[in-house]
Amino acid sequence: MSSLEKQIAPVVKAIKDGRKATFFLGAGVSTSCGIPDFRSPKTGLYANLKRLNLPYPEAVFDIDYFKEDPKAFYTLCEELYPGKFLPSKFHHMLKLFQDKKLLHRVYTQNIDTLEGIAGVHDEYVVAAHGSFASNHCIECSEAMSTTKLKQLMTDKDTNEGIPKCASCDGLVKPDIVFFGEALPSRFFDLWDEDAENVELAIVAGTSLSVYPFASLPLEVGKSVPRVLVNNEIVGDFTTNKRKNDVILKHDCDTVASALIKALGWEDDFDAQVKEIEQRFEKNSKVLEKADDSKASESSDTAKKIDQQQSEEELLSRDLVSEAEKAQQQEQLSAAEESEKLADKIEKQMEGLRL
Ligand code: CNA
């Protein structure tokens, strides 16, 4: 028996005894997907933000700084935008817990939506720090579609790639929680319900330094087994270590592999990975197609708009009939409909909820 196998034995026993797991996750479960965490010394985002000329690293996610200079956030946003990353072994393991009816809840600080992409249902996931799934104007709260946001973000010729609200010209941002903003009410509501019902707490890939999330493991009942899976020992596991805590100072995916093996879930894991990879590939193709047809539609739309403009000139001279006006309107609505469809497909791709 390897030392990791020995270390995880009490966790495996608790799971085999039927204890449902509540997970508390951070950026470390997604680093193997290619998304950097915040605080790892060499690879973390904060260590690599010099190019953004920030007064201090956290400023990139600070609402007051965003109001002053949104460019830094949008530079990073483009790099981290969901849709190009696949779930890690750890994310796939969450789906297996769900399939085996051993999942109670996944509290995640992550904004990458990878739990959902692995197939974990929305009802189980609490995205404590929001996600990229929706966007709003910070002034008037008007919603903006993800397609529109991405289009504005990548169009550097208009407003330097900073998405602005069509109604009030305020700044628009994805609904991820910045420092200085309130957490979603779902976080507080569900934790009120869940806190006393945790049977097995698994904390993984987090430095436990952002509150109130960091205090959740501390609020778990004293008799409940707590497990920390992290490259370093953090938070309450350092300051208030309990007798029945299991500390696994290892890589998240290494622990996921060991648990999957010990629980005899290897075949289910292989099938899960294959299914998600196939879906991801299929959805990427659908998205590519949607992009292609959107590109040709936008050139059609551009042509139609040109046509509309010249026809408007004629209209002003009373030379175009009412019937032609109606036809022109129909063409523009059809172009709008295609854009909506492409937006819907793109949303499905981003959420990839199974
Ligand atoms: P953090 O403060 O960067 O801490 C990450 C922790 O995970 C550190 O203790 C690392 O040592 C550890 N770690 C990193 N990689 C691994 C690994 N492969 N295996 C085991 N341990 C590892 O990040 P937190 O999540 O604690 O901080 C909360 C912030 C980070 C939230 O507001 C998030 O929105 C934000 N964030 C999210 C993402 C994402 O969605 N993927 C990425 C970057 C930052």
Distance from Cα 100 to the centre of ligand 1, integer Å: 27
**DSSP 8-state symbol, 158:** T
Coil, strand or helix: which one is 325? Answer: helix
Tell me what pLDDT residue 183 has. Answer: 96
Distance from Cα 194 to the centre of ligand 1, integer Å: 23
Interacting residues of 186 by C-beta distance below 8 A, sequence separation 6+: 126
Span 326-354, mean pLDDT? 50
Q: Tokens for 274, please give them.
A: 């294959």
Nearest Cα to Cα of residue 52 among 34, 36, 66:
66
Cα–Cα distance, 290 to 297 (Å, whole number)? 10
Cα–Cα distance, 114 to 85 (Å, whole number)? 8
Find the Cα–Cα–Cα–Cα dihedral 209, 243, 260, 112, rounded to 10°.
-10
Span 86-105, mean pLDDT? 98
Peptide bond into 212 cis (omega under 30): yes
Distance from Cα 93 to the centre of ligand 1, integer Å: 18
pLDDT category of residue 291 using cuts at 50, 70 and 90: low
Whether residue 280 has pLDDT greater than 70: yes
Q: Tokens for 292, please give them.
A: 């292609």
Span 245-255, mean pLDDT? 98
Tell the residue nearest (CA) to atom 19 of ligand 1. Answer: 251
200 lines ligand 1 (CB under 6 A): no
Tell me what pLDDT residue 18 has. Answer: 98
Half-sphere exposure of 310 (CA within 13 A, CB side): 5
Interacting residues of 321 by C-beta distance below 8 A, sequence separation 6+: none
Quick check: 4 and 248 in contact, CB under 8 A?
yes
Span 336-344, mean pLDDT? 55
Quick check: 183 and 129 in contact, CB under 8 A?
yes
- Point out the least confidently predicted range of 8-12, 79-83, 254-258, 298-302: 298-302
62 lines ligand 1 (CB under 6 A): no
Span 292-311, mean pLDDT? 49
Cα–Cα distance, 67 to 75 (Å, whole number)? 15
- pLDDT tens digits, 183-209: 999 999 999 999 999 999 999 999 999
39 lines ligand 1 (CB under 6 A): yes
Cα–Cα distance, 226 to 5 (Å, whole number)? 17
Span 281-303, mean pLDDT? 60
Quick check: 91 and 72 in contact, CB under 8 A?
no
Q: Tokens for 43, please give them.
A: 């690879």
60 lines ligand 1 (CB under 6 A): no
Please name every residue paired with 107 in a beta bridge, in sequence order, or none if there are none: 24, 126
Cα–Cα distance, 288 to 286 (Å, whole number)? 5
Span 290-300, mean pLDDT? 56
Span 103-107, mean pLDDT? 98
Cα–Cα distance, 58 to 49 (Å, whole number)? 10
pLDDT category of residue 309 using cuts at 50, 70 and 90: very low
- pLDDT tens digits, 124-182: 999 999 988 899 999 999 999 999 999 999 998 888 899 999 999 999 999 999 998 99
Tell me what pLDDT residue 337 has. Answer: 57
Active site residue 104: no
Quick check: 202 and 237 in contact, CB under 8 A?
no
Cα–Cα distance, 113 to 85 (Å, whole number)? 10
| Cβ-based burial of 255 (10 A; exposed 0-12, middle 13-18, buried ≥19) | buried
207 lines ligand 1 (CB under 6 A): yes
Which of 32, 37, 249, when mutated, tests ligand 1's pocket best, judged by the most ligand atoms within 8 Å of its CB? 37
Cα–Cα distance, 115 to 131 (Å, whole number)? 12
Quick check: 296 and 288 in contact, CB under 8 A?
no
Question: How many residues in the chain?
Answer: 354
Please name every residue paired with 221 in a beta bridge, in sequence order, or none if there are none: none
Q: What sign does the CA torsion over 122, 125, 129, 132 have?
A: negative
Tell me what pLDDT residue 46 has. Answer: 85
Whether residue 53 has pLDDT greater than 90: no
Nearest Cα to Cα of residue 276 among 120, 52, 47:
120
Span 217-230, mean pLDDT? 97
